[in-house]
Amino acid sequence: MADSSVEIIEGCRLPVLRKNQENEDEWPLAEILSVKELPGRKLYYVHYIDFNKRLDEWVTPDRLDMKKLQFPKKEAKTPPKNGLPGSRPGSPERDVRKSLDLSVQSASAPSRGKTLPTPKRKAESVSLASQVSAVTPVSSLPSSADESQASVFPALRDSSFSITPREEHQPLAALTTNGSTRRLIPPQPGRKRKTCGGTDEDSQDSSDGIPSAPRMTGSLVSDRSHDDIVTRMKNIDCIELGRHRLKPWYFSPYPQELTGLPILYLCEYCLKYLKSLKCLQRHLTKCNLRHPPGNEIYRKGTISFFEIDGRKNKAYSQNLCLLAKCFLDHKTLYYDTDPFLFYVMTEYDSKGFHIVGYFSKEKESTEDYNVACILTLPPYQRRGYGKLLIEFSYELSKVEGKTGTPEKPLSDLGLLSYRSYWTQTILEILMNLKPDNGERPQITINEISEITSVKKEDVISTLQYLNLINYYKGQYILTLSEDIVEGHERAMQKRHLRIDPKCLHFTPKDWSKRGKW
């Protein structure tokens, strides 16, 4: 459908033909990022608007709908004053000066609510109470989300957990269950149940289903403001890793002389990159590794985990980061791997230990991060390995005696995996609560966090994401519907891969006492 009389340039937007998941034709709007001229034809590299970058691809002219071609808008020659709409972006120097001026002003100005960071305990109270305040008297709200008592009333497979206010110095929320109660709590006439659906500052989901802006902090968060046309395009066509061939999703800064090759070859044991199959075969005769370098700290069946120090095994760690960047877009790549530990999951067979996925973590994290980057390689996805990596990261946190959370922002697939893991882990605890001598067993939000090593903010945000928290008769109620219970049971039946803590041989190190990593 391309019209040869019209020249398509970079920045143009137009509908492009592609197949959706049902293998049906669709014409989403796409932006032309690059044009490549080959003998006798042209190819266009397109990014589908509002689609993930991993779907970007080279397309032929016959897939372009020229009737709806949009040329890129020209920038105004003289930007209007006061930064009104339509003005060009300011120069970096001006932006820096502006941000410095603002930071100086905000530092000298008195505190006005949200201008200064508040302690985390206060943030928790906002996360649960802020949404209820509009419909409930302030006096009935608890002082903190964690410091609210909760009661569990299982009734015909519907379980509810009530939360009552407590004083700030008293213990945290208690979830209680009454085994003798077998009735549903009927809603009172004329009284509507009020739901509490606030969000916490670490959550990526808002109460109305619209993702909130991700927090751009952390050690490996990508600075999206410096994206250019080069890093927006995939530069590697194919990677051969052992018995698998992988199609990269994103740009990765491999040496430029290797980006034009049809296939990039990687040694699956040391992850060294080579330009040809012959070079790989010659390398394998000299490479003595049959497993990742470092200490094997877990083995059960064919699954093993290796702990790799980014300082002691720098070459391997850098090669791992290069490979991971092909499939991770939200994190930036640092060649300085010294401050990180890498935990590589492998599958064993007669030829050796084959990499399945990995996660990295900071040796010292000031924000309780227990994962910096996490990846399951595409050939092993949708087989339960992602949850196994997440579960292993929390097992390490349990041994360390800490609670942890993944570094934000999470990718779309990472967020799905973590949400699923948090949901299953928390529901497993709530459903296993049993009455104790006729009394309602009690459990606090703190205790859930300590048992699972999941950070309290993630526990609360998961309950809110599942829409389990309701407000009823001056109390917070957690209601487990029959659908949630049945869905959880089905999910747990499919989850065959689990971490066995008895097979973990791990001694945490106190990195703060070491002069150098």
Beta carbons of 322 and 252 less than 8 angstroms apart: yes
- Give the DSSP H/E element, type plus range, for residue 489: helix 482-494
In this structure, the chain runs to a length of: 517
Secondary structure of 50-85 in HEC code, one letter for each residue: CCCHHHCEEECHHHECHHHCECCCCCCCCCCHHHCC
Cα separation of 66 and 6, whole Å?
8
**161: closest CA among 504, 490, 472, 497?**
472
DSSP per residue, 284-329: HHH---SS-SSEEEEEETTEEEEEEETTTTHHHHHHHHHHHHTT-S
412-431 helix and 456-465 helix, angle to the nearest 10 degrees: 90
299 to 104, 261, 360, 500: CA distances (angstroms) = 54, 37, 19, 9
Cβ atoms within 10 Å, residue 355: 22
Backbone Cα Rg of the chain: 27
Tokens encoding 251 = 């740009």
Cα separation of 305 and 292, whole Å?
9
377 to 76, 115, 241, 323, 406: CA distances (angstroms) = 45, 41, 10, 9, 18
Beta carbons of 267 and 319 less than 8 angstroms apart: no
Q: Active-site residue 407, yes or no? A: yes
Name the active-site residue from 407, 428, 447, 450: 407
SS3 38: strand
Beta carbons of 65 and 14 less than 8 angstroms apart: yes
Beta carbons of 410 and 204 less than 8 angstroms apart: yes
**159: closest CA among 488, 459, 438?**
488
SS3 388: helix
| Per-residue b or e along 435-466, where b marks 16 or more CB atoms closer than 10 Å to that residue's CB | beeeebbbbbbbbbbeebbbbbbbbbbbbbbb
Q: How many CA atoms lie within 13 A of 156 on its CB side?
A: 4
Contacts of 468 (CB under 8 A, 6+ apart): 478, 479, 480, 484
Instruction: Name the residues annotated as catalytic.
Output: 407
